Structure 1
């Protein structure tokens, strides 16, 4: 009787331990790939960082590419949570976007730079673009035209005005303060509002 009663507990504890190990590996891989080129990070580096064996990583993710895809999925899910903003509130939209870029923008730029030779980076970048476009449709739903060419044009403008590389230009290349960079993006988004454009 006791053995049967304790079995679900043991199974639950084992599942929790497996999930904790998986999360630790993901965090270790994300931390290393945030700072270093994809090819410079081996499974052994990640295993050492996470305190597990290389075989454990292989068992969970199948290898480095599978782990990279899992890291990209983790980052994507964190991005969805981080970018919650009221529809049409430009100041709030820019604020949450900058908070996200300040947190992981440099890592994003590093991954995009590798997309031509690292398939996992290319997949992550493509997913991030699609995710960003869907986010734009959500937070600017009040200003976007009905489906059609005008909507696509407006989305393209908004995508350019909020792109990661624009953040990089302002914050890293030109050295703008976060306050000045956010103000620049707010002004840009205000200037391309389709409701105020006669040629929209």
Structure 2
């Protein structure tokens, strides 16, 4: 009996984790194509193949699902954005891979941040992570900590923002290679080391 109990507890924990994952992935799938307010707990339950009560038991409600979805997406983005330090073309390709996959959903969420506190929280965290990622992949060119570094990071953020991707790819209809080249040109132009060489 004692040997079976840890197994049962382990199996139960695995089942709970699998149910939570199904709910979160269902919510993400719905919110990548629909407005936040248009997705109800019933929609998420139907998509995940669970009851609304199961969602409430796991996440308390829609805000809890949103926070969990944002955390899950952060992990997906971190896994996808592995790029070598200082290799501008490769960094841009990795970023575009992510934006081509999730950029439209990002823009949809940004449009709702002013009226949905859970989305505003998620976007604030995502912005912090993007800035930290930029500090990591452009570590070779950034000045020492201080105002100059903060300014350089702000420029790099602007040059890699999802809205710039949207402008080039969606609004102007640029082919991906042309949009990537434009971003590379911007990142090259704002390299702080260029000023030191002039």
Deviation per CA, 1:3-57, whole angstroms, max 9, x where unpaired?
2221211111111111111100011000000000000000000000000000100
1:158 matched to which residue of 2? 156
Superposed CA offset, 1:166-185 (max 9, x none): 00000000001111111110
Distance 1:191 1:118, change over 3 A: same
Aligned partner of 1:63 in structure 2 is 61
Summarize the alignment of residues 50-129 of structure 1 with structure 2, pairs less than 5 Å apart.
Answer: 50-129=48-127
Equivalent in the alignment of 1:9? 7
Q: What's the TM-score, normalizing by structure 2?
A: 0.97
2:139 aligned residue: 141
The corresponding residue for 1:176 is: 174
Aligned residue pairs, count:
198
TM-score of the pair, normalised by structure 1: 0.96
CA distance in 2 between counterparts of 1:189 and 1:144 reads 12
1:41 equivalenced with 2:39 (yes/no): yes
TM-superposition CA deviations, 1:58-91 (whole Å, max 9, x none): 0111100010011001111111111111110001
Unmatched 5+ residue regions in structure 2?
A: none
Residue 197 of structure 1: CA displacement? Answer: 2.0
> Match of 1:24?
22
Measure, in 2, the Cα distance between the counterparts of 1:62 and 1:164: 31
2:165 aligns with 167
Q: Deviations over 1:108-151 (max 9, x none)?
A: 10000000000011011111111110001000000001111211
SS at match of 2:50: coil
Q: Which runs of 4+ in 1 moved over 4 A?
A: none
Given the alignment of the two structures, is residue 131 of structure 1 paired with residue 115 of structure 2, yes or no?
no
Q: Which runs of 5+ in 1 are unaligned?
A: none
